[in-house]
A and B are shown apart, each in its own frame.
Chain A
Amino acid sequence: KAGVTQTPRYLIKTRGQQVTLSCSPISGHRSVSWYQQTPGQGLQFLFEYFSETQRNKGNFPGRFSGRQFSNSRSEMNVSTLELGDSALYLCASSFQWGNLDYGYTFGSGTRLTVV
């Protein structure tokens, strides 16, 4: 079956711009989580959505937002981009919220570079 699909794979944006990343979970998975990975901070949790509702939120500024659609696809948006937002953004899907069984399945990520 198809895995978690993230688009685009690579993105270059200018400081001050905004960006929208997309994540399509595995078919049947209703939970989508977002993570930011940088060399300095490692993998950090952004937020999780389940049934179109945000269930958990990490410690990121309000410039980072997300949403989930009725088909479980999710988007995350970063406004007023800063150089420090350059990172690999990962999406993970799971059958249900907080599901520990078999863990979360991650996509290959979107590499965002802010110049």
Chain B
Amino acid sequence: LAKTTQPISMDSYEGQEVNITCSHNNIATNDYITWYQQFPSQGPRFIIQGYKTKVTNEVASLFIPADRKSSTLSLPRVSLSDTAVYYCLVGNTGTASKLTFGTGTRLQVTL
């Protein structure tokens, strides 16, 4: 399974755009990139998933360069409620059921 590396923590002010980058140098050709968000004492929540280029939904955008060795989760105009741990995962249909969560990035949003 491809290993991912993310910053341990990030701080932001409310209203700013936050970009969290994940490194996955050993990503396989058929691997997808998925991001989850987790609040304390709750299960992770799916945010966004992509394979290449850019994916956008109502919550976030995911930027994936051509070499796919990294990806960036972009959260526009964060609010206090976005304070959480964000996990980047890499896997394919064959490994999807064995989701490998790294340490994640703890995002702290303040006023």
Contacts and interface: CB of A to CB of B under 8 A. Distances in A.
A38 to B, nearest CB: 12
B98 A48 contact: yes
* Chain B interface main SS type: loop
A98 B22 CA distance: 22
B97 A33 contact: yes
Nearest to B94: A98
Contacts of A98: 93-97
Contacts of B104: 42
Contacts of B92: 100
A63 interface: no
A100 B34 contact: yes
Contacts of B45: 106
B44 A43 contact: yes
A56 B44 contact: no
Interface residues of A, number: 30
B99 interface: yes
Contacts of A102: 46, 49
Contacts of B97: 31, 33, 45, 48, 55-56, 94, 97-98
A43 B32 contact: no
Interface of B: 32, 34, 36, 41-46, 49, 87, 91-104
15 contacts: A42-B102, A43-B99, A43-B101, A45-B100, A48-B97, A55-B97, A90-B43, A92-B43, A94-B97, A98-B94, A99-B93, A100-B92, A106-B44, A108-B42, A109-B42
Interface of A: 4, 31, 33, 35, 42-45, 48, 55-56, 58, 88, 90-92, 94, 97-100, 102-109, 111
The 6 closest A-B pairs by CB, nearest first: A106-B43, A103-B46, A43-B101, A48-B97, A98-B96, A98-B93
